[in-house]
Amino acid sequence: GQFPQKNVQQVSEAPQLYRENIHGFLLKEKRRTSFLLLLLDHLMESGSFLFISLGEPEVIQEQLLYCRVGIGFHLQILPGGSVRGVHRPTQYSWLKLFSIRPGLVAIRGLRSGLFLCMSRDGWAHGAFSDDCIFKENLEENHYTTYSSYSHPGKYLALSRKGELRRGGSANRNQASTHFLPRRRLW
């Protein structure tokens, strides 16, 4: 989606700040707002600045998140905001991950345009809210877990049937929370 004209003007007023130190700006910002995520995404897509050094956000285009539970499922974010797993990836399975700072990521569905968020109750959904930042942890088995930054202890998880599990009912040691980022289908 496009930014409303008001927000585009705000971005153009201070592009040098973002070019010089987007990472420092995000660390200074106390509120975790979806506006910051949209702003960062817009600046990356428009080519307003490049990420070169390791300490700054990195974008990975068109990525799948594969969960090893059951027969194996790819996470998808549907246009209505529902989140679930599918064995064979669909157009809604392609995601964009970018780091806010080391260990913190935002996940956006490329087709739906919605960010992956987790509510206080532990349910994941696609939306634009302050609950869209996740802690990314590489586990000993080389799979990645995603836990809510806003609601600690709530993990992104799929059931053996590919249905979404409530974040509070799963922990980082369960296969239902283990995801493998994939850039290709095979």
Write out pLDDT tens, residues 84-133: 999 999 999 999 998 888 899 999 999 999 999 999 888 888 887 778 89
What region, left, alpha or beta, does residue 122 occupy, with left being phi > 0 and alpha being psi -120 to 50 degrees?
A: left
Write out pLDDT tens, residues 27-72: 444 444 555 655 566 555 544 444 433 344 455 568 999 999 999 9
Predicted pLDDT at 167: 87
Predicted pLDDT at 135: 95
Once rounded to an integer, what is the mean pLDDT over residues 10-25?
41
Query: 15-28 vs 34-46: helix axis angle to the nearest 10?
Result: 140
Cβ neighbors of 146 (< 8 A, separation 6 or more) are: 105, 107, 134, 135, 136, 137, 155, 156, 177, 179
Instruction: Give the closest residue to 101 by CA, choosing from 23, 181, 13, 5.
Output: 23
Q: Which CATH architecture has domain 59-182?
A: Trefoil (2.80)
> What's the pTM?
0.70
Annotated domain spans of the chain: 5-46, 59-182
